[in-house]
Amino acid sequence: MNIEKNKEERKLRILASIIREYITTAVPVSSRSVAAAMGSSLSSATVRNIMAELEESGYIEQPHTSAGRRPTDKGYRQFVNLMARRLEMEKEKAIILRDQFEERIRSIKDIIERTTSLISRELKHTGLVMWPTMDGVYLKHIELVRIKAKTVLAVLVTMTNAVKNYIFMVEKDIEKTQLKKISNFLSSNFEDSKLSAISERLKVKAPGSGNSQVTKLASSALEIIDKIIEIDIENDVFMEGMNWFAMEPEFRDPKVSKHVLNLISDRKIFGRLMQKELPYRGVNVYIGSENESEILKDCSVITSGYDIHGETVGRFGVVGPTRMDYESILRTIGCLSDVISKKLVELSK
């Protein structure tokens, strides 16, 4: 029984070894090099037997007979699952990460840009950050501007100093002065609230036929706030470091490179992907074919959430070829999640 377990464990250690080597070399791994990597405690022949079993289980594959093995998506998955528990970042590294966010952070935009840039530089893959959903975020300021008849421009400033704007139609035309009143009404009564909370509270206020003036104001305001919430499904994604794809040897294949270009020119894919997993704060890993999108079948996407005041309002992550360094990425992403969330709280005072 104990022996059984040891056997299984050794098998997985070998899988890990194969993956680690393949990640750095991008070349199918031979039994010999695995044996060497395992400290020569095993002969290549033994390793060969085990590798045959691993292939049987679908964790690795041969591009062709008489070539080494490379990990399959399933193999990567196994690997990721196994190590998922122990992914603390070394103290020093964590401090280096933190330091990157020390200077000149004045708005969430700065944080977002800093994050993608960090991911790009440190992890050598494309970094992604989703803007926080507006409805989960506290407002600092709201301003309404009349564009033309029945058309309103809303400018929101969040506690994190993000500026977002929305143009939308309203039922009946609102005068410039009236709009100013609504702006003021919202600003004075609902500053420092969340969009969703404002909507809730307005719903209570609006239909109650107390002071007709206030009621009217509230119902106009409600219409506008709900419009904003409705529009805000787009969820913009900020990307940086697409050029790392070019460095990968996989990129030599023109078919692949074509794919990649199509991929990175369509940020919506990532917007949808991250939106979907949103209430969740933890780390997600999608490996190759695990991705819903066909276009991502040779890529892996690793994402994590970030909080503002304990509420998960956005996600960020990394895209790259399936052959990526899951270990260091998972470590970094996990750590970054904390750093960003902390910074965001600081930002909103």
Partner DNA sequence: CTTAGCACTCTAATATCCCGAGTGCTAAAT
Partner DNA sequence: ATTTAGCACTCGGGATATTAGAGTGCTAAG
**Under the rule (CB under 7 A), what is the footprint of DNA?**
3, 28, 30-33, 42-46, 48-49, 51-52, 55, 62-69
Residue 255 CB coordination number (10 Å):
8
Q: Between 66 and 209, whose beta carbon lies closer to DNA? A: 66
Q: Which does 245 bind (CB under 5 to 8 A by kind): a second copy, DNA, none?
A: a second copy
**Which of a second copy, DNA, none does residue 153 bind (CB under 5 to 8 Å by kind)?**
a second copy
Instruction: Write down the least CB distance from residue 155 to a second copy, Å.
Output: 5
Nearest to 123 by CA among 349, 297, 270, 319: 319
What does the alpha-carbon distance between residue 216 and residue 206 come to, in Å, rounded to a whole number? Answer: 7
Touching a second copy, residues 241-270 (CB under 8 A)? 241-243, 245-247, 251-252, 254, 257-258, 260-262, 264-265
Task: Output the six-digit token pair for 76.
Answer: 């990567």
Taking each helix axis from N to C end, the angle separating 326-347 and 108-118, rounded to the nearest 10 degrees, works out to 170
Helix axes 176-190, 195-205, angle to 10 degrees: 110
By rule CB under 8 A, what string of x and - marks binding of each residue 87-106 to a second copy? -------------------x
Determine, following the binding rule CB under 8 A, whether residue 107 of this chain makes contact with a second copy: yes
Quick one: which segment of 15-23, 24-32, 136-144, 275-283 binds a second copy (CB under 8 A)? 136-144
From residue 199 to residue 238, the character string flagging contacts with a second copy as x (rule: CB under 8 A) and all else as - is: ----------------------------------------
Q: Which does 51 bind (CB under 5 to 8 A by kind): DNA, a second copy, none?
A: DNA
CA distance 300 to 263: 12
Token readout for 5 is 């377990």
Distance CA 136, CA 113 (A): 21
Closest to DNA by CB, 64 or 148: 64
* Contact yes or no for 55/69 (Cβ under 8 A): yes
Of 110, 282, 278, 313, the C-alpha closest to 194 is: 313
96 binds, among DNA, a second copy, none (CB under 5 to 8 A by kind): none
Do the bridges between strand 139-148 and strand 70-71 make them parallel or antiparallel, or are there none, so unpaired? unpaired
Minimum separation from the CB atom of position 210 to a second copy (A): 28
Q: Hey, which residues does 306 pair with through a beta bridge?
A: 314
Residue number with CB closer to DNA (42 or 137): 42
Contact with a second copy (CB under 8 A) among 83, 155, 197, 345: 155
Instruction: Report helix, strand or coil for 265.
Output: coil
Q: At its nearest, how many Å lie between a second copy and the CB of residue 301?
A: 18
Which of 96, 145, 197, 278 forms a contact with a second copy (CB under 8 A)?
Answer: 145
Residue 169's beta-bridge partner residues?
Answer: 151
**Strands across the sheet containing 151-158:** 139-148, 151-158, 163-169
Cα(38)–Cα(43) distance, rounded to whole angstroms?
10
The residues that touch a second copy, with contacts defined as CB under 8 A, are: 106-107, 140-141, 143, 145, 147-148, 151, 153, 155, 157, 161, 163, 165, 167, 240-243, 245-247, 251-252, 254, 257-258, 260-262, 264-265, 349
